[in-house]
A = this chain, B = another copy of it.
Amino acid sequence: MTTQSGSASPRAATLTDVARLAGVSIATASKAINGRDQVKAETRLRVLEAAERLSFAPNALARGLLKGRTGTVGLLTSDLEGRFSIPVLMGAEDAFGAGRVSVFLCDARGDAIREQHHVRALLSRRVDGLIVVGSRTDPRPPLSADVPVPVVYAYAPSEDASDVSITADNVGAGRLAVEHLLSCGRRRVAHVSGDPGYKAAQDRAAGAAAAMTAAGLELVGGQTFFGSWSEGWGRGAARMIVEQHGDVDAFFCGSDQIARGVLDALRELGRDVPGEVSVIGFDNWEVLTTNARPQLTSVDMNLERLGRVAAQRLFAAIDGTVRPGVEELPCRVVTRASTVPIS
Contact = CB atoms under 8 A, between A and B. Distances in A.
Nearest to A79: B90
Please tell me how many copies of the chain the complex holds. Answer: 2
Contacts of A100: 121
A328 interface: no
Given A57-B124, A89-B80, A232-B291, A105 B107 contact: no
Interface string A37-72: 000000000000000000101111110110000101
A323 interface: yes
A86 B94 contact: no
Contacts of A86: 80-81, 86
Contact of A322 (B5, B81, B123): B5
Contact of A70 (B2, B61, B118): B61
Contacts of A87: 81
Given A105-B93, A126-B12, A230 B61 contact: no
Given A93-B105, A102-B125, A104-B104, A59 B65 contact: yes
- Classify chain A: how many residues form its interface, as a range: 35 or more
Interface of A: 1-5, 7, 9, 12, 55, 57-62, 64-65, 70, 72, 75, 80-81, 86-87, 89-90, 93-94, 97, 100, 102-107, 114, 118, 120-126, 146, 148-150, 230-232, 257, 260-261, 287-288, 291, 317, 320-324
